[in-house]
Amino acid sequence: MHSEAQLAWQATVDLQRDGAPQEDEAQPLIVDIPTLAPPPSPCSLSLLDVIH
């Protein structure tokens, strides 16, 4: 379960490293991730908050 959440986490980290806007790029990502893991939605938000 957490392995799928890690994928979402990696994706968000990659976007941030790329220097792309978190919210702008995170939305399409979270929409694509639900196919793998629906819970990551709230998880990603928490992780993004931690990075901020």
Instruction: Assess if residue 30 is contained within a domain.
Output: yes
Say what the pTM is: 0.26
pLDDT tens digit sequence for 1-22: 568 878 887 777 776 666 555 5
**5 part of a folded domain:** no
Confirm whether 35 is domain-assigned: yes
Query: Does residue 7 sit within a domain?
Result: no
Measured CA angle at 42 (ends 47, 40), to 5 deg: 85
pLDDT of residue 27: 54
Could you give the number of structural domains in the chain?
A: 1
Q: What is the pLDDT of residue 24?
A: 55
pLDDT digits (tens, 9 = 90+) for 23-51: 555 555 555 555 555 555 555 555 556 66
What is the pLDDT confidence band of residue 52, given thresholds at 50, 70 and 90? Answer: low
In a domain, 25, yes or no: yes
Residue 44's Cβ-count burial label (10 Å; 0-12, 13-18, 19+) is buried
Domain span including residue 46:
14-51
